[in-house]
Structures are given as structure tokens and as C-alpha cells.
A = this chain, B = another copy of it.
Amino acid sequence: MDTVRWAILGAGKIAHKFAQDIQQVPNARLVAVAARDKERARVFASQYQAPIACTYQELYAHPEVDAVYIATTHNFHLEQSLACIEAGKAVLCEKPITINHHQLGQLTAAARQRGVLLMEALWTWLLPAMQQAKAWVKEGRIGAIQTIHADFCYLMPYEPEGRLYNPQLAGGALLDLGIYPVAFTTYFMGGSPDTIRATAIMTDTGVDASTSMIFQYGAVPAFLYCSLAGRSKVQAVIMGENGHIVVPDFFKASKAFLYNAEGKETDRFDDGRSTLGYNYEIEEASRCFLEGRTESSQVPLDSSLAIQEILTTVRTQIGLKYPFE
């Protein structure tokens, strides 16, 4: 076996992006699409020449599916990931992988017990521009990290029932956008910050329209921001003692820029890709599956757990509790 037979669970926007990019991945093939509404699954599947269209329950039992990409709203991730794992299928689950770190502990235990691959779809970490930025840091090109700034705003119309503003669907800026600046910082600083300070503007529906955060790692602070109701540069800057790195549109980074202490550009990276960028995570998850591994070393569950703990702490500080928690 040299390609993994993938299914997509959920037929929303992100599922289409995944279906598009998997076409360019050598060790992966889309064979199935599952949706609550079988007709919707059929339309989706035929669009990408996937032979199987089915319901969630049928998917869990389907013998011709090796791995499942979970693309539903955050609130369903635990239940659906567990069902896949219990059926012995590898899981690549959209981020945030669960709603809180308690849920992730439960999920991780299930995956380990069953011996199947579980990976959070932190596609950003697998992008070449991110890896180049990390290589520059490791090579000492900017010296010791001094500060990190990252912000991700995406102006979304206020629809109280929609996915983004609905507390029943685990909405809000933090879990949808904020996870990117948090993941960016975690990628470079590792583990958990010593101190977290957060404040938010809440919507009438009781989720965060925007969240502002400071994470302190020893002497290094990270200043992070996300908003569904405002605008920002959408870039990340790693300031070092001898230079800095700018990653524009870091959540989908295709470029990275290196500057010296005088602020002059000294290097740049552009991956020149034609995909949206989801191909890298699909390839990594497929490689792990084919090698019989239960965890990716590039997106380890410990990192997912660290991010979950951070997000939970931030939510406690800003008073964001979901009705089903």
C-alpha cells in the first residue's frame, strides 16, 4: 500500500479546500465524502470523483476508508473523532482539535488505546515558509528571540445563528482565528507560556468578537490579537536581538522575509506553490499512516495539548464558556 484512502467527514467550505489540495498529494487519495445529508455528500463526492458518498455512521463502518479528515464545527470534533478511532480509522481533525484540554485528554487516550493515528490539522506548521522561518531562527540569523507579534482579523458579517457567532457551535474569534496566532507562537516558543493575560470584546450572542492576548515566555512576550469584527495586518513578526522575520498572512504562509539588525532585507523565501497549502498536512498524515505511526512528530499531540491548555486559560480569563461545557 503506498497511498492512503481518505474520507472527508463534513461538507463545508474547508472540506472543499481539502478535497482540492488532496489531488496534488502523491501518497493520498480521496475515496469518500460523508455528510449528515447523503445527497449533499453525493454532490460533493462527484465533484471530486470520490467513489463513496455516505452518512457519518456509514463512514465509520466503511471497510474501504483508511483515514478520515474531520471538517465539521469544533463542537462535533470529539464525538466524531472518537467514533472514527473506535472504528480503527486514522483521524486528521480540524483545529481546534477539541473544545478544551479535558476533551483532548479523552481523545488522546482513545487513540493510544486503539493504536491509531490522531493528528490535529495544524496545517500552518507544515508550510515550507514556516519551516524556513524556524530554520532561520535555529541558525541564529536573528539571534535570541525578543518579542513575537501576530494578529489575525477577518471581518465577518454578524450572523447570530452562523457558525462563527453561535455559542452552540463553539463560535467566537479565539477558536476560529485566534488559534493561528497562538499556534504560531507555540511553534516558535514551544510549550506553555509562564503568564497569560487576555481581554476580549464579546458579542450579544456571548462569544468573543475579538480577543487580545499577551503570553510571556521567560523574558519574551508575545502580543497576539484576533477579531471577527475588526481589521489587522494579518502578519507575524519575530523580533530577535540581531534582526527580525516577517511572515505575511502567516496562517497560510507562502512567504517569509528576513531582516538584519538595521532593518534591511537580507533573505526571503517563497514556496511558489499552486495549492492552497493543505497538501502538506495531508502528505504528513498519510506518511505517518503508511509508516504505522500513531502520531506526527511535526504536529505532536503534546503540542495540541499545550495549545488546548492555552486556549482554555484564555477563555477562562475572558469568560467564554460554551453552553455544552
Q: Considering the complex, give the chain B residue whose CB is closest to the CB of A259.
A: B233
**Which of A1-9, A50-58, A61-69, A216-224 contacts the other chain?**
A216-224
A198: interface (CB < 8 Å):
yes
- A188 CB → nearest B CB, Å: 16
Contact among B149, B212, B241 for A221, CB-based, below 8 A? B212
User: Which residues of B are found within 8 Å of A239, using beta-carbon distances?
Assistant: 231-233
Using A149-B149, A223-B225 as known contacts, say yes or no to A199 and B199 having CB atoms under 8 A apart: no
In whole angstroms, what is the CA distance A229 to B231 when docked? 32
- Could you give, for residues 262-284 of chain A, a 1 whenever the CB lies within 8 Å of some chain B CB and a 0 otherwise? 01000000000000000000000
A294: interface (CB < 8 Å):
no
Tally of A interface residues using CB under 8 Å? 33
Contact among B201, B230, B241 for A146, CB-based, below 8 A? B230
User: Which residues of B are found within 8 Å of A227, using beta-carbon distances?
Assistant: 219
Contact among B197, B230, B240, B244 for A147, CB-based, below 8 A? B230
A196-213 with Cβ < 8 A to chain B = 197-199, 201, 209-210, 212-213
A153: interface (CB < 8 Å):
yes
In whole angstroms, what is the CA distance A87 to B230 when docked? 52
Q: Considering the complex, give the chain B residue whose CB is closest to the CB of A237.
A: B233
- Could you give, for residues 75-98 of chain A, a 1 whenever the CB lies within 8 Å of some chain B CB and a 0 otherwise? 000000000000000000000000
A120: interface (CB < 8 Å):
no
In whole angstroms, what is the CA distance A244 to B241 when docked? 26
In whole angstroms, what is the CA distance A209 to B221 when docked? 12
A151: interface (CB < 8 Å):
yes
Using A147-B230, A231-B239 as known contacts, say yes or no to A221 and B225 having CB atoms under 8 A apart: yes
A233-247 with Cβ < 8 A to chain B = 233, 239-241, 244
A288: interface (CB < 8 Å):
no
A214: interface (CB < 8 Å):
yes
A195: interface (CB < 8 Å):
yes
Is the CB–CB distance between B244 and A233 below 8 Å?
A: yes
- A257 CB → nearest B CB, Å: 13
- A285 CB → nearest B CB, Å: 35
Top 7 closest A-B pairs, CB basis? A212-B221, A197-B197, A223-B223, A212-B214, A146-B231, A195-B199, A146-B230
A interface with B by C-beta (< 8 Å): 146-147, 149, 151, 153, 195, 197-199, 201, 209-210, 212-214, 216, 218-221, 223, 225, 227, 229-233, 239-241, 244, 263
Extra 13 A-B pairs, beta carbons < 8 Å, given A149-B223, A197-B214, A221-B225: A149-B149, A197-B197, A197-B198, A199-B214, A209-B219, A212-B214, A219-B229, A219-B230, A220-B230, A223-B225, A231-B240, A231-B241, A233-B263
> What are 21 residue pairs bridging A and B, where the CB atoms are less than 8 Å apart in the complex?
A146-B232, A147-B151, A147-B225, A149-B149, A195-B199, A197-B199, A197-B214, A199-B214, A199-B216, A201-B216, A209-B219, A210-B221, A212-B214, A212-B216, A212-B223, A219-B227, A221-B225, A223-B225, A231-B239, A232-B239, A233-B239
